[in-house]
A and B are shown apart, each in its own frame.
Chain A
Amino acid sequence: MITFDAVRKQYPDGTVAVDDLDLQVEEGDVVVLVGPSGCGKTTTMRMVNRMIEPTGGTITVDGTDIMSTDPVKLRRDIGYVIQQIGLFPHRTTAENIATVPELVGWDRSRIRERVAELIDTVGLPDGVADRYPHQLSGGQRQRVGVARALATDPPVMLMDEPFGAVDPIVRGRLQDEFLRLQAEVHKTIVFVTHDIDEAIKMGDRIAILSEGGVLQQYETPASILAHPANAFVEDFLGEERGLKRLSLIPVKEVTADRGPVVTVGTNATDAREVARSQGADWVVIVGDDDTLRGWSWTDELADPVDGDAAKPFVTQVEAQDSLRTALDALVSSWTGVAVRVSGGDRYEGLLTRELLTAELHDDARARL
């Protein structure tokens, strides 16, 4: 756990980078510091390992005041992923990852085992261990940076725009991988970014800072999106708050409609009746055991209903996808619904625009 108590950083020229900051980072949480440039987010993070020394207040890591710890020892106990990664160009992947274990004096065989384990953990391919950083792709370098920070399994990690140096596609993949990894390792993480979408995706909690290091709001992403504390936060969250909120809610939170569904072999008249009763001019066609076959307009139905003639749904969603993905599926489909499946082809039901809207409002109420 990291606690900021009335922390202040004022430079000799009088500039205040961080002002009277109170913040508590719970054990195992990812706290994202986000804000416009000049908001002191990086300064705040760098005060934790004394790369920058606070000029007021106290910072404690697991109950110990950082100012009472030797900065070098403090830093060895805190994983650090720097902006631009900062890999050592003259050291191979394995040597980079081994940096902190070497500093703290692990023996060779223990280091070798740990390096091999980490290369695997962060998803680096075999054979990169002996390559130099310039021989790696951007995404691989990023993974080495994370592995290096994890080397001695520090309970606390600081990450300064760790995915800033790679293209958006690789970034998305690294973020997903990192979230999966974090679910296993449960580090206490302070994460800095200027990208609110990254903050919403990565953070258990988000601290929004404004110029001069003033904390504007500190809550879960869902709460902040549902209830921005003030105009600054609202402005910083930007457009499409509804979409951003949908991206936080998984499909499994919503009970899907059964919808106008007919089984292969039903006669066409019965099938049209099913559609009519639900106010639709199309039906979902499933096989035995609710295997999804596709859909059909009612006036194009074969008699009896034929699974092979059914049109496929362009996109399908599963329980762990976000409602934003469901919305995308919904607006891309002829039928105006997103079809939910499990295990790839088992029909679970339909998500409609009404269901999504209701969820946003219910969600807002539930978190009041």
Chain B
Amino acid sequence: MSTLLAQSGRPFPDWAWFDERNVDRLRDLFVEHVQLTGLALLFGLLIAIPLAVAAVRWRRLYSPLLNLTGVLFTIPSAALIIAVFAFLPVQTFGLKPRTSVLALTIYTLLILFRNTVAGLDSVPRDVTEAATAMGFRPSRRLLRVEFPLALPVIIAGIRIAAVTTLGLVTVTAFIGQGGFGQLFITGFQRQYTMEVAVGVVASVLLAVLVDLLLVWAERALTPWSQSRGGAT
């Protein structure tokens, strides 16, 4: 069996890979990976939350919006990235990070939309009724009662979307970004197994780290949650 490792003729693991230049590069790639993911999630939330609020308010919007985001989600990632790259004005998009961010954002929509709707739906009816009966205006009720209570489900969505996006970021290496994904491309080109392996390990570690951070954030933001601290 002929593997990259066998062909490369280099030792593995090759700790010499971690020279000053590569460590700097690794740090830049980390920043890029996190930025692409973070921006995609941010724009995803900015779009999905208003859509979710609208879908909860006007129920008949829910199915069309779910179908739309669902169809977008099913487009193969490479195809979508290439499509954005190929069909949008090249001066504005082209090889710029915004092309990647746009594609990645589209992928987050289904999960963020669906979970935000589910989260808002999970708010007990007696609680929203009590809020109305005590004189909350609808906007304040949404911000102070419904969103806080929907937060665990929304954050669960953000976790899935974050991990999915972290993986998809590597695909954007096709058009010159890709974060740690670039290590796959250059590693294969140079037949340098250690470089590919560093890319894989870094991607996995980052995904685990981000997921843990979001779990921690959920706990910090929902100290009232019933899943911890037993009833007295």
Contact = CB atoms under 8 A, between A and B. Distances in A.
Interface residues of A, number: 31
A133 to B, nearest CB: 8
B134 A91 contact: no
Contacts of A80: 130, 133-134
A297 interface: no
A33 interface: no
Task: Choose among B131, B133, B149 the residue with the greatest number of A CB atoms under 10 Å from its CB.
Answer: B133
A57 interface: no
B56 to A, nearest CB: 18
Q: How large is the interface on B (under 10, 10 to 19, 20 to 34, 35 or more residues)?
A: 20 to 34
A309 B99 CA distance: 100
A313 interface: no
A298 interface: no
Contacts of A104: 135
Interface string A24-47: 000000000000000000000000
Contacts of A103: 134-136, 140
B232 interface: yes
Nearest to A76: B135
A72 B231 CA distance: 34
A336 interface: no
A103 B137 CA distance: 10
Given A89-B224, A90-B224, A91-B224, A51 B132 contact: yes
A153 to B, nearest CB: 14
Given A84-B126, A132-B224, A135-B229, A90 B133 contact: no
B145 interface: yes
Contacts of A73: 135
A223 interface: no
Given A80-B130, A82-B129, A88-B131, A72 B137 contact: yes
A109 B148 CA distance: 25
Interface of A: 49, 51, 72-76, 80, 82-92, 99-100, 103-104, 131-136, 148, 158
18 contacts: A72-B135, A73-B135, A74-B135, A75-B132, A75-B135, A76-B135, A85-B126, A85-B130, A86-B131, A88-B127, A88-B130, A89-B124, A89-B149, A90-B224, A91-B224, A132-B224, A134-B226, A135-B231
Interface of B: 124, 126-127, 129-137, 140, 145, 148-149, 222-224, 226, 229, 231-232
Given A76-B135, A99-B134, A135-B229, 13 more contacts: A75-B134, A80-B130, A82-B129, A85-B126, A85-B130, A86-B131, A89-B226, A90-B148, A103-B136, A104-B135, A132-B224, A134-B224, A135-B231
